[in-house]
Amino acid sequence: MSRLFLVPLLLCIVWYLVMRYFHIPFAKGRIGFYWIIAISALLIGFMTLMIHLTEHG
């Protein structure tokens, strides 16, 4: 479960490397970080909800 919180970090690192490779300025690529964080938060929230709904006991 705790590894889910590495997903946004890894995606942001990959996005940063893509921006550097294609010479995209940070001001233009900043929206990508917002999308990564928002989608990752939704994914983590959904996964956490599913874990709590399906736990036995």
User: What is the C-alpha to C-alpha distance for residues 33 and 1, in angstroms, rounded to an integer?
Assistant: 23
User: What is the C-alpha to C-alpha distance for residues 49 and 52, in angstroms, rounded to an integer?
Assistant: 5
Given a contact cutoff of 8 angstroms between Cβ atoms, the answer to whether 32 and 15 are in contact is yes
Note down the domain range covering 44.
Answer: 2-54
Contacts of 1 (CB under 8 A, 6+ apart): 48, 51
pTM over 0.85: no
Query: What percentage of the chain exceeds 90 in pLDDT?
Result: 72
What is the pLDDT, as a whole number, of residue 9? Answer: 93
Q: Is residue 29 predicted with pLDDT exceeding 90?
A: yes
Q: How many domains does the chain have?
A: 1
Q: Is residue 47 predicted with pLDDT exceeding 70?
A: yes
Q: Is residue 15 predicted with pLDDT exceeding 80?
A: yes
Q: Is residue 4 predicted with pLDDT exceeding 80?
A: no
Mean pLDDT across 6-33: 95
